[in-house]
Structure 1
Amino acid sequence: MINLTDSAINHLKSVLSSSNDPDKNTLRLWIKEGGCAGMEYQMKITEPEEGDIIIESGEVKISIDSKYKTLLEGCSIDYTDDLSDSGLKISNPNAARSCGCGTSFEPASKEK
């Protein structure tokens, strides 16, 4: 469903291992309306919520709000760290377009 690059896995393993709360061991991913392209990615290290879809990749657990499964299907998450920017980046095949900042997108279909 969602693919993590080796760089994203290594970064998330580092972040998760430094957490002081053992219950917060998951990257939770969801979408909210907003941003310059209409839909905005949201991520947080936390516990999965009831009804979330749980995916494990390279010892990293990801939980996805199930109501956004269609919009997140086939996404790839990468971690970049260079002079101009660093952080997790999502590549979404379900996006008709993404904004310049990379945190919001317009869905190819209008399903929510």
Structure 2
Amino acid sequence: MTQIVDITESAIFHINEMMKNNGEEGSFLRVSVKGGGCSGLTYGMGFDQEKSENDFEFQEFGLNIIVSKEDAPILQGTVIDYKQSLMGGGFTIENPNAIASCGCGTSFRTAKKAGTPESC
């Protein structure tokens, strides 16, 4: 098992709550990257029932996580957290490979992959 991303205990707690509320217990958490956004790449997190031979699988606080081998170099070392503030809570993603991000903070690019930027 190769660990690609670190997910904090706080984020795992909220992910497990989402899984329970959506009837997705036992699913994998898929962390991914796709083209789009102002800077060219956007993050994706969702539940998946199956993994493929092209996925890395690892565990964090008992949660089974999968990342495609294609996305792994872009996500290597990324930290996913859940932070609460007076305005509510949400997930934060810190990616050491991102060299630029858009003003809204939802898209990024790396030195090796620019993605497919959209106009904002």
Aligned CA distance change for structure 1 residues 93 and 58 (closer, same or farther; 3 Å): same
Is 1:70 the counterpart of 2:58 in the alignment? no
Instruction: Select the residue among 25, 30, 33 that pairs with 1:31.
Output: 33
- 2:21 alignment counterpart: 18
Amino acid of the structure 2 residue aligned with 1:76? V
* TM-score, length basis structure 1: 0.84
Structure 2 letter corresponding to 1:100? G
Partner SS, residue 23 of structure 2: coil
Which structure 1 residue ranges, 4+ long, deviate > 3 Å from structure 2?
Answer: none
User: Higher Cα Rg: structure 1 or 2?
Assistant: 2
User: TM-score of the superposition, structure 2-length normalised?
Assistant: 0.79
Q: Secondary structure at the match of 1:67?
A: coil
Which residue in the other structure is 2:106 paired with?
103
Cα distance in 1 between the residues matched to 2:87 and 2:37: 21
Contact map agreement 1:31 1:39 (CA 8 A) in 2: yes
Structure 1 unaligned regions, length at least 5:
none
Aligned-residue CA RMSD in angstroms? 2.0
CA contact (8 A) 2:39 2:114 kept: no
Counterpart of 2:19 in 1: which secondary structure?
helix
- Inter-partner Cα distance in structure 2 for 1:85 and 1:101: 17
Between the two proteins, the alignment pairs up a number of residues equal to: 111
- Structure 2 unaligned spans of 5+: 116-120
CA contact (8 A) 2:55 2:66 kept: yes
Fraction of identical pairs, as percent? 34
Amino acid at match of 1:97: A
Deviation of 1:61 after TM superposition, in Å, equals: 1.4
CA distance in 2, matches of 1:71, 1:47: 23
User: What CA distance in whole angstroms lies between the structure 2 residues aligned with 1:97 and 1:84?
Assistant: 26
